[in-house]
Amino acid sequence: MVTLGELFDELDYELEDMLDVLSQAIDLIEDGKVKEGVEVLKALEEDMFDFLDYVDVEEGEVDVVLEEECEEPSAEAPKKAAKPAPKKAEKPKGKGKK
């Protein structure tokens, strides 16, 4: 069983690692290595999206969540239609070409 303290320690480690990468990008940019710094930032952005469990969602694409999947519908209760789940946060589009 994982304790809450262990989870906080893991979260702290992940955030410290991301801060280190951000510091590395800043150092590169300050040293005039802008392209390298931007690449480090792009990689960090992807890591943060993964960490936060964000997904790219194309316009019009919606996940469907079935309500009460585990319950047996009774004969008296009408079936409920599945409602679309709210979209997960879309990855913001950065400036420039990709």
Is residue 20 included in any domain, yes or no?
yes
Which helix (H) or strand (E) covers residue 96, if one does? Answer: none
With 0.75 as the threshold, say if the pTM is over it.
Answer: no
Print the domain residue range for 53: 4-84
Which tokens is 74 given? 């009774």
Alpha helices in the chain (DSSP H): 4-30, 34-51
Which tokens is 68 given? 């009460």
Burial of 40 (0-12, 13-18, 19+ CB in 10 A): buried
Is residue 47 included in any domain, yes or no?
yes
Q: Tens digits of per-residue pLDDT, 10-64?
A: 999 999 999 999 999 999 999 999 999 999 999 999 999 999 988 777 777 765 6
Looking at the structure of the chain, the number of domains it has is 1
